[in-house]
A and B are shown apart, each in its own frame.
Chain A
Amino acid sequence: MKTFTNAVRKDILKMIHNAKSGHPGGACSCVDILSVLYKKVLNVPVEWANAVDFKNRDRFILSKGHASPALYAVLAHCGYFSKDLLMGFRILGSKLQGHPSSRVGLPGIEVSTGSLGQGLSIGVGMALAMRLDNIKSKVFVLMGDGEMQEGSVWEALMNANNQKLKNLVVIIDKNNLQIDGSTNDVKTLEPLDKKLEAFGFNVKTVDGHNFEELEKVLLDAKKSNELTAIIANTIKGKGVSFMENNVSWHGKAPNDEELKKALEELC
């Protein structure tokens, strides 16, 4: 798994370097979550829409759409599309848009996101549709912690509980940083676990970089009949020493030298 996530992180940094823009910090913080999801938890056919059983797939929504390079790299490394496409990230005409786009149609991309605070409501709607159609799979939504400052997120949490959804799993990539600084300084979310519990969720807190912990909690959530929220404590920029916990790497591309240094660390 470590080999896999290192390869993914290297590609993320190469993509952002090549595009001269992107969000390395929040992408690297959720790489381990995404990797465990796609390699161990989600039932999403690699043939994508060509799969016979396509409608019964688990759904994954990257609500924090700016972490798109992480999702693209994980999908490519899992075989949903060619790794050759990765360097098209953010380039004119590419299906690897700056933020995920279901409009342009890239295998593995369920929904369009980018404007924060909307993925969870989309997930609730999808979960309702699946319940109506008696589809037994689950909807997983990955959110950023800063994103939870959007009021519509709490509308969606309320709705999920009100609809008694049993097929929705919310994962929060809690890296404690947002563009303007620490989430606690900008607009605190604490106590996040208690707030989520008060909204009717079964809340689990894990180390978002521990593969075993992630696998267990995500598989448990998949089996569970309760509305689950997983708070994954993560480090923004995880894997590259000079990016870790450094908010200046929220939305900045590494230059040639920084990329070289980062890639050496990820060997």
Chain B
Amino acid sequence: MLVKNLLEKPETKSPRKTYGETLVELGGKNLNIVVLDADLSCSTQTAMFKKAYPERFFNCGIAEQDMITTAAGLAYGGKTVFASTFAMFATTRCLDQIRNTVCYSKLDVKIVATHGGITVGEDGASHQALEDVSYMRSIPDMRVIVPADCNEVRQVIEYAARTPLPMYIRIPRTNLKNIFDKDYKFNPNAGIKLRDGKDLTIVTNGETLYEVLSTAQKLHEVGIEADVLHYPVVKPFHHLALKASAQKTKKVVVVENHSVIGGLGSAVCESLCHYAPSKVYRIGTKDTFGQSGEQRQLMEFYGLTDKKIYEKIIKFMDVR
């Protein structure tokens, strides 16, 4: 399932490019697919779809509220709709439209947002969506997916295209390291265990999965064995894998490139308090805004690199 020598020489690929390529492939097979963007098509890579199928691409200009509600209208008209812009503008700017028009009427609109998380980088706080998963997760009938590598991005977009429900799919600006090999099958109905341990459970998704796998290896080297659970589907949250792991380890760490408020960490806590009360430590950006900086430096500053996660977990394990 995992690529060989993952932690030694990882290859990387742009998830945005993968998104664009997948849209073009799907658009060729399914003439019902339409794509919208809000003046960021060259960045989100929906421009690839525009080039292939210009009559099925609609640029709504710098008007995200209009884009989301136009997407809703197209879905009312029977279309399978993908709408893209940066995560910051795709969620905060048009939260009302997403809630009251897309989700309330359970429309076939997939919001594929790029530039999720702190790793937007130099553009700084105004462009770093750290709360988007939280907003989206709180809306009834919304599905929220945060894939971790380009293989998974492709499968998630394919799943979205054949599932006529509102969906929020978050991908980062950064290139993602290739984690999954060709045998990996995205399962929308389960969290997936990628490493087996007895001492603690680490839950993550998105771009921090690679960091967590690296952290788990470092922990192994000092005799701490971690269960690593990948939860690309944050909502609906499928508790079984988490429950089984937490009942075994009794200690859970959640790592995400998102605020510790309302994201995967919160979903894990909500699930555990019901199914398997455990000690939980949430690693993510605190209750704060981001700032400008180089991507890796930001990851380091906000404690999301393998090294920082390792240090935090060692402290957490001492607390036991």
Contacts and interface: CB of A to CB of B under 8 A. Distances in A.
B105 A125 contact: no
Interface residues on B, range: 20 to 34
A132 interface: yes
Given A115-B100, A163-B58, A123 B77 contact: no
Contact of B100 (A118, A126, A155): A118
A127 B73 contact: yes
Given A152-B65, A155-B60, A159-B63, A124 B100 contact: no
Contacts of A162: 61
A152 B34 CA distance: 21
- Among B34, B77, B79, chain A packs the most CB atoms within 10 A around the CB of B77
Interface string A113-139: 011011001111111111011000000
Given A112-B101, A132-B55, A132-B79, A124 B73 contact: yes
B74 A129 contact: yes
B38 to A, nearest CB: 10
A111 interface: yes
Interface string B1-43: 0000000000000000000000000000000001000000000
Contacts of B278: none
B287 interface: no
A158 interface: yes
Interface in A149-204: 151-152, 155-156, 158-159, 162-163
B46 interface: no
Nearest to B63: A155
A110 B107 CA distance: 12
Contacts of A205: none
Question: What size tier do the contact residues of chain A reach?
Answer: 20 to 34
Per DSSP, are chain B's interface residues mostly helix, strand or loop, or mixed? Answer: helix
B69 to A, nearest CB: 3
A156 B101 CA distance: 15
Chain A contact residues: helix, strand, loop or mixed:
helix
A128 B96 contact: no
Contacts of A121: 65-66, 68-70, 72-73, 97
Contacts of B60: 155, 159
B65 A111 contact: no
A143 to B, nearest CB: 13
Nearest to A122: B73
B70 A124 contact: yes
A122 B61 contact: no
Given A103-B106, A122-B101, A115 B76 contact: no
A56 interface: no
A165 to B, nearest CB: 11
Contact of B76 (A103, A129, A152, A163): A129
Contact of B77 (A114, A129, A151): A129
A132 B56 contact: yes
Contact of A130 (B77, B96, B100, B104): B77
Given A118-B97, A122-B101, A111 B66 contact: no
Contact of B70 (A110, A115, A128, A132): A128
B210 to A, nearest CB: 38
Nearest to A151: B65
Contacts of A126: 73-74, 76-77
B73 A125 contact: yes
A158 B58 CA distance: 13
Name the residue among A101, A102, A122 with the largest chain B CB count within 10 angstroms: A122
A103 B100 contact: no
Nearest to A150: B65
Given A126-B73, A128-B58, A129-B77, A118 B101 contact: yes
Contacts of B78: 129, 133
Contacts of B106: 103
A121 to B, nearest CB: 3
B71 interface: yes
A159 B70 contact: yes
Interface of A: 101-103, 110-112, 114-115, 117-118, 121-130, 132-133, 151-152, 155-156, 158-159, 162-163
Nearest first, the 7 closest Cβ-Cβ pairs linking A and B are: A125-B73, A129-B77, A121-B69, A155-B66, A155-B63, A122-B73, A125-B70
28 contacts: A101-B105, A102-B76, A111-B72, A111-B101, A111-B105, A112-B100, A112-B105, A115-B97, A117-B65, A118-B72, A121-B70, A121-B97, A122-B73, A124-B70, A124-B73, A125-B69, A125-B70, A125-B71, A125-B72, A125-B75, A126-B74, A129-B73, A132-B55, A132-B56, A155-B65, A156-B66, A159-B60, A163-B58
Interface of B: 34, 55-56, 58, 60-61, 63, 65-66, 68-79, 96-97, 100-101, 104-106
